[in-house]
Structures are given as C-alpha cells and as structure tokens.
Structure 1
Amino acid sequence: MREFRRILLDGTAVDVERHDGLLVAGDGRTVKVDEAVHLSPVTPSKIICVHLNYASRVAEMMTTLPAAPTYFHKPVSALTGHDAAVVRPAGCKWLNYEGEIAIVIGRTARNIAPADAGDHIRGYTIGNDFGLHDFRDTDAGSMLRVKGADTLCPLGPGVVEGWDFRGKTIRTLVNGELRQDGTTDEMTWDMHYLVADIARTITLQPGDVLLSGTPAVSRTVYPGDVVEVRVEGLGTLRNHIVEGPASIRTDVGAQPTESEEVLSTAQGGDWGFRGIRKPRAS
C-alpha cells in the first residue's frame, strides 16, 4: 500500500507521499507527519454520499432499506482536512459526526459493471460526514444545508492505494471516548456497487469522492470537542469543533429549528417521541 497526502508546504499546496514518519514531496523536500499542515487529500469535482448502508445504523433508526441506495450531494466548498476546525455556525446547536470511508475515483467511470468498478478506484481515505440538523426540517430531502455547510466534509489524512475495504473496522471517538464501532462487513452495498450505481448516469472523474455510509451512534458534538475517525489500514482523521463568529442571518431563508424530528435525529435513534414521522436518516 502507498499513502499520499496534500499539505501546505512553504505556502503552496503540495502532494506528498508518506514514508513512515516523513512526508516526501516530489522535489525531495520533507516534513514530519506531525508537523504538517494538512489539506483535503483530493480536490474532487463532486462529493456524493449514500444515505443509509450500515446494518447497525439501519437498526438504530428503526427503519428498513430501500431496494437500492439513495444519495445526496455535498458541495466541494464543504471540504477541509485533517486536524482542521469544523465550524458550527453561531445560533445552531445540533451538529453531529458520522465517521465514514471515502472512495476516491482514479479513472473516469461511466456505465461500468460492479465487477469492473475496482479498476476505476484510485484508493480510499477517511471522511466525517458532519450534519447540521438544525436545518433538517427544511432540507431533509436534499440535505443541502444539513450536510453542505462550509467545513462539514473533512477528508484525510491521506489517500491510501492498494487497500482492501473488506472486513475493516471503523470507529469514531469524541474526546478520546469511543462512540461508533463498526465494520465494513455491515455494509449492504459495497464500494464497487456504489461506484457502479452512480456511474450509470453520472460520469465520475478522477478525484471525485463517494462517502459510503456510517455505522450506528451518530450524536451531537459541541465547540471544544475533538472528533477522531479511525479506520483500520487508513489511519486517523482528527478534527476539532469551533463556533462560528457570526450567527445565521435572520433576514433571509429558513431558520434553525428544534422540532421533535430534529431532536430525535440528533440525539439518537431510540425514537422517544410519539406521533411524528420518522425522518430520513443518513
């Protein structure tokens, strides 16, 4: 396996390869891994995410899967990197983590069979599909403001090539405490299926990213919290939560809400509320 990262080196975004504790640029410059300023390891033209995929998450949400995956889109402006801040806008409360594995496309993919999808995958990285559930009442269908705000798509620390996704653990920790603990064997639709499914109608270009779902126990985090997603063979993606300097504007658009649906989604899938429609999970 080989791991490639993208860092800020002497003021410029540079692709580097990891060699143990060093990151090595193509021109021979080196920087220690723990001293590097990390950027998103890829610059995709699109980020596509599956709603539900892991069995534990489906069970937690007390729902059933459709016959085929459903998806939503994160804008590329949501990207950030390893060790970067994730910003919760002032005036919002319900920011949840979702540890995930991100598929990185290596070759243009269009109308391919699942059996051939692996040939179009460059490698894998770790993602955290943060969601701002304050906007769930208005954006539950598109998930645009729920999942698309600036900094809500950390990726990293690097892209690992030659990694086999089968039978790997995925865990999320908050302030060192284990919150999510799953395995890729829980996935209903594997990485190759997801790539082939999307590529039936949407051309996937090199660098594009597909987020493959999260296990159970997505919960709310707060400014000051440190969130780590650890995936066997891919390393650890670490981010910290900060509060934004300005509140959501009140003179335009839908405002943050705190309905029973918002609270039940943000706080867990035990559905302690009665008489409400179960929200669409992700």
Structure 2
Amino acid sequence: METRRILVDGETLTVNASGELGELVAADGRRFRADAVQHLPPCTPTKIVCVHLNYESRRAEFGAKLGSTPTYFHKPVSALNAHGGEVVRPPPCRYLNYEGEIAIVIGRTTKNIAPSDAAASIAGYTIACDYGLHDFRDTDAGSMLRVKGADTLCPLGPGLVTGWDFRGKRIRTLVNGQVRQDATTDEMIWDMHYLVADIARTITLVEGDVILSGTPANSRPVEPGDVVSIQVEGLGVLTNRIISGEVPVRSDVGAQPSESEEVRSTALGGDWEFRGIRAPRRD
C-alpha cells in the first residue's frame, strides 16, 4: 500500500496511490492525477539520521576500510523537499552531488530494541536523494552539516509504501534519463533493521522520523537544469530538477566554498586525478 501527502488549494491531504492511470484517491473520494498535484514529503520527521558508507560498491569506490559498525550524520528537517520539488545549488557552489537512497520511516516511538524486533517499528519506506554540496567538504570537521544540510537537499517521496521487503531490490539514479547509479540492496553492509536498532540504542525515534540507508557508487555532480530521478523497485520514482539559487552564499561570514583536492576527490568518486575524470569547468 502506498500513501502520499499532497497540497490541494492550501489543504494538506493524505491520499492513496491507486495504481490506476496514476490516480491519487482521497478519503472523501476525490481523485487527482499524480502528475498534476504538488507533492509534500510523505512524512513529517523530527529528525533525519543518515548512515555514511553502507553499499559495498561505494566503499570500494573510495577504497575505504570500514569498522565493524556504521557511523552516522544528521540532516536538519529544514532540508526536506518532495517529489517534483526544485533542488537549489547556491552560487558560487559547483559540486552538488546526487545520492540515490532508500529512506526508512519510523512508525512508533522506538528505544533500545534488538534488530530482530525492528520491523515492528518501521511504518514503511520511501525514496530519498541525499544531495550534498561538497564545496563545503573542508569545513565542519566531518559533521557534514554544511555539505548535507542546506535547504532543499533532502527530497523524499513520492509516497510511503508499507509491506515492502527491502531485500534484493534494485535502486537506480538517472540524470536526464541516463543511468548513473545502478545497484541492489543486497550490496548493503548493514541492513534496515540493524540501522534502526543501532540508532535507537541511545536516540529515541518517534513516528515519522527518517533514516537514510546509504547510496551505491557513482555519486557525481549535477548542474542547474538537470533532472534527477531515483528509481527503487516497489517504491516508485522520485524526480527533482536542479536549479541555480538566486542568493549567493554570504562571503562575509563563515567558511567559504572551496575546491581543494578533498572536495574534488569526494565529488568525483575518489582518486579523481588517476581516473581521467576532469573537474567541472568553472565559469
């Protein structure tokens, strides 16, 4: 079952995705075309917790040596966006990367559970794109706040799917119709239930909270005008357009966007100078 949240004449509606001709059906019987409404994020989290490296292809891409347990970072809820929303790359940033992911949505207050009990705490799953401004990679001492926390950089959707088994599912990222990421969830180093139980040891999760479960290899920069679609088997397609922000990052306060070796290497997949990959041309 898939539910979506949409905005109709200023009213927030929770609707069912009928699967018939792309229709969305409200409780009062009203029907809407999915491609003709404004989508909202399918849940309202109090927090968005993200795992770092969790797909084997991504780990191998960076040649990373992982510990026996995952590490995490936090995206603020002000970064939330939705299916069909515009993702803003503020000037003068150049390295805005997509990261196609699957989002776990929590269904009830959860604390101190075993991985074997985690399924009961999950309301369902949706698609996410964990966008990052790698121009800020040289700041915040690894917290990822400026890289991953800017407004619009966490689109979720299009809907919340219940009764979905995460095992063996294909996930792909397309940019302007061309496949850029292609993997299955069998690559995941730590599965969805492990992630929920791990975080809930010390952090109380509540209904609507979101955990982003990692991305496969080949996250790369996108440009204003590009259309990014994340396809996940059984969850649908999340699509967003990249635009250039109208307001530049202020230059009179704080760390500034940079183009260091770390910035370029991370944005372009690691060891970029040895892979024949050129950095995007600066205007």
Please classify the TM superposition score into its range, dividing by the shorter chain length.
over 0.9
Report the Cα offset of residue 269 of structure 1: 2.2
* Structure 2 match to 1:9: 8
* Structure 2 match to 1:265: 266
d(CA) in 1 for partners of 2:215, 2:268: 16
Report the Cα offset of residue 5 of structure 1: 0.4
2:152 matches 1:143 = no
* Structure 2 match to 1:18: 17
Q: What amino acid maps onto 2:217 in structure 1?
A: A
- Give the TM-score normalised by structure 1: 0.95
| Residues 17-57 of structure 1: per-residue CA shift (max 9 Å, x gap) | 11122111222222111112111111100000000100000
More deviation, 9-18/162-171 = 9-18
* Structure 1 match to 2:153: 152
| Residues 197-256 of structure 1: per-residue CA shift (max 9 Å, x gap) | 000000000000000000000000000000000000000000000000011111111100
Instruction: Give the secondary structure class of the aligned counterpart of 2:219.
Output: coil
Map 1:217-228; keep pairs closer than 5 Å. 217-228=218-229
2:172 matches 1:171 = yes
Q: Structure 1 stretches (4+) deviating beyond 4 angstroms?
A: none
2:128 matches 1:113 = no
* Structure 1 match to 2:216: 215
Instruction: Give the secondary structure class of the aligned counterpart of 1:137.
Output: coil
CA RMSD of aligned residues (A): 0.9
- Kindly indicate whether the alpha-carbon contact (under 8 Å) linking 2:264 and 2:272 is maintained by their aligned counterparts in 1: no
Distance 1:229 1:140, change over 3 A: farther
2:255 matches 1:234 = no
Q: What amino acid maps onto 2:8 in structure 1?
A: L
Instruction: Give the secondary structure class of the aligned counterpart of 2:83.
Output: coil
The alignment-based identity, stated in percent, is 70
Report the Cα offset of residue 148 of structure 1: 0.3
* Structure 2 match to 1:92: 93
d(CA) in 2 for partners of 1:132, 1:225: 16
d(CA) in 1 for partners of 2:217, 2:194: 21
d(CA) in 1 for partners of 2:140, 2:229: 27
Report the Cα offset of residue 139 of structure 1: 2.6
Structure 1: which 5+ runs fail to align? 274-282
d(CA) in 1 for partners of 2:73, 2:235: 24
d(CA) in 2 for partners of 1:117, 1:47: 17
- Kindly indicate whether the alpha-carbon contact (under 8 Å) linking 2:88 and 2:244 is maintained by their aligned counterparts in 1: yes
Report the Cα offset of residue 271 of structure 1: 4.4
| Residues 70-108 of structure 1: per-residue CA shift (max 9 Å, x gap) | 000000000010011000001111000000000000111
Map 1:61-140; keep pairs closer than 5 Å. 61-140=62-141
* Structure 1 match to 2:281: none
Report the Cα offset of residue 270 of structure 1: 3.3
Q: What amino acid maps onto 2:231 in structure 1?
A: R
d(CA) in 2 for partners of 1:117, 1:129: 23
Q: How many residues align?
A: 272
